[in-house]
């Protein structure tokens, strides 16, 4: 019998969770038309139901009990939007095991456990999608996994962390110190109170692990390749690059050479008028080199509630379309590793 309604649960209701909720509510009729069924949020997992929120939601949607979501037969898709390793990693695996399809924006959990997630999804014939985990609204995972699937990808290189790109852009343009720009970035919400994950390259390394899995079909843990952040970049370094018509960017790069994947995250000088060199402020950019399609260039907003929520909704809609068509157990896991 044709499905008329598809249930979704959100795990977490911070920036990304609220952005996803807003995207679904504002585009409800459009999504229903595209899916062929209503896509309805049934539950939202939160720590404190009485906390102040950016968006008002009906109290009956809120729960603090993950098991309530897991055992609810009306919930088909679980969107894990909590971030961090625990309890998110356990929740993702439990959801896939219980026959729920999973969408996540959690690059840290994916970088740690992607092979395990994929095997679990394959065994239980559930779908795992994670477009939002890398570069927000930029459809880089979809481009690699689907649009370019007929190509042999030889290299992926990108600016995948908006915080560090904002800092380096302003330091180079204004001659401002790292410390001053970091404070501004924190005030604007581009950087966390503890910016270590961004400025030391951990965030970019997690994203590169996900990109390597999608592009090359292999798993490379973030600690298996070079990782250097931007804290050592000086004004003298930026001035020297400027004198040569170049800029410094924190680059995440993976390239196939002689059957091996060489990867790194580190500050690199690039030509100022190149694709990556022109990507400024908090924007992200990724270049994908292919043997058939040639270089593919993708750029856009890599973070924020709306861009990331948009990517999450794209994955939810893809899964919902498969459910509505009755083909949800025939769909592949995104990265086959």
- For the question of residue 207 being annotated catalytic, the response is yes
Q: Are strands 128-129 and 153-159 parallel, antiparallel or unpaired?
A: unpaired
Cα 204 from Cα 113, distance rounded (Å): 16
Q: Are 280 and 168 in contact (CB under 8 A)?
A: no
Task: Write down the mean pLDDT value for the chain.
Answer: 94
Alpha helices in the chain (DSSP H): 15-26, 28-35, 66-70, 88-97, 107-124, 140-142, 162-174, 178-188, 196-199, 202-216, 235-243, 305-325
Handedness of CA 66, 70, 71, 76 (dihedral sign): positive
164 and 183: one domain?
yes
The model's pTM? 0.94
Separation of alpha carbons 95 and 47, rounded Å: 19
pLDDT digits (tens, 9 = 90+) for 20-32: 999 999 999 999 9
Residue 66's domain spans which residues?
5-136+306-330
123 belongs to a structural domain: yes
**292 and 164 housed in the same domain:** yes
Q: Based on the domain organization, do 298 and 310 belong to the same domain?
A: no
Among residues 93, 100, 107, 207, the one annotated as catalytic is 207
Of 89, 61, 87, 64, give the one whose Cα is nearest residue 75.
61
Tens of pLDDT, residues 128-168: 999 999 998 899 999 998 889 889 999 999 999 999 999 99
| Domain at 219, CATH number | 3.30.360.10
Residues of the chain with pLDDT under 50: none
The number of distinct structural domains making up the chain is 2
Residue 335 falls inside a structural domain: no
Q: What pLDDT score was predicted for residue 188?
A: 83
The DSSP secondary-structure symbol of 243 reads H
Q: How does DSSP classify residue 150?
A: T
Asked if residue 158 and residue 124 are part of one domain, the reply reads no
Same-domain pairing of 215 and 324: no
């Amino acid at each position: 019998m044709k499905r008329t309604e598809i249930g979704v649960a959100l795990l977490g209701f911070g920036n990304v969770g609220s952005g996803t909720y807003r995207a679904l509510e504002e585009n409800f009729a459009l999504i229903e038309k595209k899916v062929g069924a209503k896509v309805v949020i049934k539950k939202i997992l939160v720590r404190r139901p009485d906390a102040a929120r950016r968006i008002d939601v009906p109290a009956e949607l809120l729960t603090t009990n993950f098991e309530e979501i897991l055992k609810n037969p009306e919930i088909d898709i679980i969107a894990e939007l909590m971030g961090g390793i625990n309890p998110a990693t356990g929740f993702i695996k439990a959801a896939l095991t219980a026959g729920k399809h999973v969408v996540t924006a959690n690059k840290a959990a994916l970088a740690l456990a992607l092979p395990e997630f994929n095997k679990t999804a394959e065994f239980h014939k559930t779908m795992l999608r994670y477009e939002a985990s890398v570069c927000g609204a930029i459809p880089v995972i979809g481009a690699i996994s689907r649009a370019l699937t007929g190509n042999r990808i030889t290299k992926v290189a990108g600016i995948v962390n908006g915080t560090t790109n904002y800092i380096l852009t302003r330091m180079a343009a204004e001659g401002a110190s790292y410390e001053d720009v970091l404070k501004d970035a924190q005030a604007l919400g581009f950087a966390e109170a503890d910016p270590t994950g961004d400025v030391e390259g951990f965030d970019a390394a997690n994203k590169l692990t996900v990109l390597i899995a999608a592009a090359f079909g292999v798993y490379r843990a973030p600690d298996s390749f070079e990782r250097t952040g931007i804290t050592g970049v000086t004004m003298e370094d930026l001035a020297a690059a400027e004198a040569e018509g170049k800029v410094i960017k924190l680059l995440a790069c993976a390239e196939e050479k002689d059957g091996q994947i060489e990867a790194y995250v580190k500050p690199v000088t690039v030509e100022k008028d190149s694709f990556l060199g022109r990507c400024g402020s908090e924007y992200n950019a990724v270049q994908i080199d292919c043997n058939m399609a040639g270089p593919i260039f993708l750029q856009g907003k890599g973070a924020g509630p709306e861009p990331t929520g948009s990517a999450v909704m794209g994955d939810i809609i893809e899964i919902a379309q498969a459910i509505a068509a009755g083909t949800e157990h025939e769909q592949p896991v995104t990265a086959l590793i």
